[in-house]
Amino acid sequence: MRGRPKAQIKTGTTTVTAFGAKALSARATRKGKPQPPAAALASAAKAVHGAVARPLPNFVEPCLATLVAAPPEGADWVHEIKFDGYRIEARIDRGGVTLLTRGGLDWTERFGALPALLAARHSGSALIDGEIVVEDKEGRSSFSALTDALKSGQAQKFVLQCFDLLYLDGYDLTGAALLDRKELLQKLIGPKSARGQIRFSEHFSGNGAKMLAGACGAGLGYRLEARRPTLSLGAPRRLAQIEMRAGR
């Protein structure tokens, strides 16, 4: 549901998200390293350019996208898979975890073991932006499968795909560069996040138009999103993202 109402969601589709890479940190996300202790994560958050010391907020309104007619030109972007599920903000506060919808509703009790799994990942405080999905037999997120799992109580099927980190251990990261936030997020989630119910959503580089053409050729309906490298709270943040959709 990231960036569009439920009525616009197409079951079983794949979405690619593109983020403006100009002025982004040149540091790439590093794989395969052990998950650092909480103290190390706090120090890393403090060192990030644009991080601001603040108390943990109750909720941060998610950044949504504005529809445009064409993908951004050039190769100066980073991209992500956009999942077909429920946009969720995971609020971790020293052992307590709350799962909030994009409207700020508390849905913690609906998603089985996910809160306990998140609490086990980090003993400090964090706000993680992500999407809860259920995968179909082909490994693609399916909104109908998600709603079926919710109705039937099959909580073991839920997967939280984590794609952004808004706050970590005393520091507001919404003014930091996207790649810096994602690097911290990957450290928090851990190196073995490709499987299991808590996963880190990888990003990759490439030309948006070529990606759009390739996905359409493969029969995938999706949208591209482009986001400015640093996001601030409030209205400017909501205007910092664009999207393009292509149907099946």
22 is catalytic: no
Q: How many Cβ atoms are within 10 Å of 132's Cβ, its own excluded?
A: 26
Residues 6+ apart with CB under 8 A from 211: 16, 18, 71, 79, 224
Q: Pick the catalytic residue from 10, 46, 82, 182.
A: 82
CA distances from 94 to 42, 55, 105, 116, 170 (A): 13, 13, 20, 12, 12
CA distances from 160 to 112, 128, 200, 216, 223 (A): 12, 10, 8, 26, 20
- Round to whole Å and give the CA distance between 183 and 178: 9
**Residue 92 bridge partners (DSSP):** 97, 126
Active site (catalytic) residues: 82
